[in-house]
Amino acid sequence: MKIPLKIKLFDRLRKIPRFIIIHDVSCQAPEDPALRIDNKKPQMNLLRTRLYLNKMEPDVNYHFVVEEIGEEFEVNLGRPMGVACNYPDIPSEYVFAFHVCVMGNYDYSIPSIRLYEKLCYSVLAPLIYQFKIPMKRIFLHNELVKGSTCPGSFFDTNMVRSKLPQFLITK
């Protein structure tokens, strides 16, 4: 099934994003545990289809999605970068943010070092460089919303912050 992409269905960002928020799939599809299991097969189309059929979402509510396919991690683009992602539970001062999803259930498994490297190299470092976002403005969803475990209790912010400097471009 091909889902039509209609930009007019999205809310546009009114400001340049100044935050990066990392999620897992449980924010958008908590009723579908099959999506939270990283089975090394592409799941992005399944996620898009489920969100469209169940919630009538025109696309995933993330700007980037990192998923493991085979032995390697790949980054998929979700919403266009000028489009806002809507999360009613996130405080209003964090509305203008880039939202990044890591596929998998990190309440039950430990993320690999390669996931952190791919996340930092392919997503976070280019966003930080292009939009001049400080490293202290990278948050996990559970740091902003009390009672949430997204992206999982084993996903480590300190690991992200320790891997990130080696991929940043310095002038």
* Cβ atoms 83, 34 nearer than 8 A: no
- Structure pTM? 0.79
Q: Specify the residue for token string 């960002």.
A: 13
Q: Specify the residue for token string 């700007």.
A: 63
Least confident of 30-34, 61-65, 165-169: 30-34
Please give the order of strands across the beta sheet that includes 97-102: 72-77, 64-69, 97-102, 19-23, 138-140
CA 159 to chain centre: 16
The domains found in the chain, sorted by start residue, are: 16-167 (3.40.80.10)
pLDDT digits (tens, 9 = 90+) for 30-53: 666 656 565 666 666 667 666 666
Residues in a beta bridge with 20: 98, 138
